[in-house]
Amino acid sequence: MPELPEVETTRRGLAPHVEGRSVARILLRRPDLRWPIPPEVAMRLPGQRIETVRRRAKYLLLDTQAGSALLHLGMSGSLRVLPADAPVRAHDHVDIVLDDGHALRFHDSRRFGCLLWQAAGACHPLLAGLGPEPLSEAFDGDYLFQRSRGRKVPVKSFLMDQAVVVGVGNIYAAEALFLAGIAPLRPAGQVSRARYAALAEAAQSILAHAIERGGTTLRDFIHPDGAPGYFAQELSVYGRAGRPCPRCGRPLKSARIGQRATVWCPRCQH
């Protein structure tokens, strides 16, 4: 599944090809993805100049004066810029054709992605109530400490709550908790300010590192044959249940927290 680093890399890959271009036309090869594609997309986007390609959480926004196309890659979606006449493959559902003869093509085999519309000056309901971006200055240990007082939920669930901070998925939460030495089941309200500082720093460094590595996949956005490769992760705990802890060598433990598999070291994390 595309996580925040993949979405940010997608944004960085697309922006130079898309920003400043006008939309010539929209080709919808089906009326819906996860949800119906609202009529505003086909009605309002053509003729508009795409001013910026923006990311909020795992959503991408193509900002124009008339409003923004709001895209989510879901479980299996990808976006590429290619010549508008490039052969269409199965699951190529949408083309946003640009005035330079290229198209921004949305491919999604499982169709958990979406293409929606946000009117100018409005905030789409999907974006309302989201917490800060993990790589923004609003996100730090003090913020986590304050938000968590009185909370009994496991700290891992707290960190994955999109109202607390966006884009820290299961993998990144497990890895950040390991780096910070915090047991994932510890109640969020019982983690100290100093340990939240370590946790915020760990989450930021893991995400920033993944985005940096993603730079090598940028070519996928301009070559029609390149499959979008999600980033190979160097993982310490995620997916390694029963294997030795990379720090102390003892077997890693696993449990389900909020329906998600979680792995941690009972010796190094407390």
Catalytic residues: 2-3, 58, 260
Residues in 88-117 that interact with Zn ion by CB under 5 A: none
Indicate whether 79 belongs to the interface with Zn ion (CB under 5 A). no
Q: Would you say 186 or 267 has its CB closer to Zn ion?
A: 267
Residue 186 CB, nearest approach to Zn ion (Å) = 16
Q: Which residue matches tokens 């890659």? A: 73
How distant, in Å, are the alpha carbons of 17, 18, 20, 113, 259 from that of 102? Answer: 9, 9, 13, 22, 42
Out of 127, 247, 254, 260, the only residue in the binding site for Zn ion (CB under 5 A) is: 247
Torsion, CA 35, CA 36, CA 40, CA 44, rounded to 10: 90
Span from 49-57, 112-120, 181-189, 248-256 in contact with Zn ion (CB under 5 A): 248-256
Out of 123, 248, 255, 261, the only residue in the binding site for Zn ion (CB under 5 A) is: 248
Span from 43-51, 162-170, 234-242, 260-268 in contact with Zn ion (CB under 5 A): 260-268
Contact 78, 14 (CB under 8 A): no
Indicate whether 180 belongs to the interface with Zn ion (CB under 5 A). no
Span from 4-12, 111-119, 179-187, 242-250 in contact with Zn ion (CB under 5 A): 242-250
Q: Would you say 102 or 253 has its CB closer to Zn ion?
A: 253
Q: Would you say 36 or 244 has its CB closer to Zn ion?
A: 244
Span from 20-28, 125-133, 209-217, 244-252 in contact with Zn ion (CB under 5 A): 244-252
Indicate whether 237 belongs to the interface with Zn ion (CB under 5 A). no
Number of residues counted as binding Zn ion (CB under 5 A):
6
Q: Would you say 91 or 267 has its CB closer to Zn ion?
A: 267
Q: Would you say 168 or 183 has its CB closer to Zn ion?
A: 183
